[in-house]
Amino acid sequence: GESPASQCSSFLAQVIVLSPPKAGEITPGSVLWVSVHSAQVPCVFEELLSRTDRCTGQVLEMMPRSLHAGDAAIVRLRPHAPLCIEPFSEYPSLGRFSVCDQKITVAV
């Protein structure tokens, strides 16, 4: 049977930065809005674990200090409110999200 989506206290995510947020870059501690399905929740970028190659996924830098437009990365996000999200490999529609800053999409 199908089980309900799980709430999480934090999650790892692969992101691609499309455009810079108002602050100019994403750094540990940045708080941006994450939209998953119909939910919109502010999330803190707790850790920037690695900057990766957009095509191969190969790690280019561990623990980067910041992310800029064009960067791909693995990050840990912590929602400020309950958020249901699932692994993309298991439930693509609940594992896909966007990151916004003042209604501008800055990462997916």
CATH topology of domain 11-107: Elongation Factor Tu (Ef-tu); domain 3 (2.40.30)
| pLDDT tens digits for range 22-81 | 999 999 999 999 998 888 999 999 999 999 999 999 999 999 999 999 999 999 999 999
Q: Which residue has the higher pLDDT, 2 or 36?
A: 36
Q: What is the pLDDT of residue 91?
A: 75
How far is it, in rounded angstroms, from Cα 105 to Cα 22? 11
Prediction pTM value: 0.88
Q: What is the pLDDT of residue 1?
A: 45
How far is it, in rounded angstroms, from Cα 67 to Cα 91? 27
How far is it, in rounded angstroms, from Cα 70 to Cα 68? 6
| Per-domain boundaries in the chain | 11-107
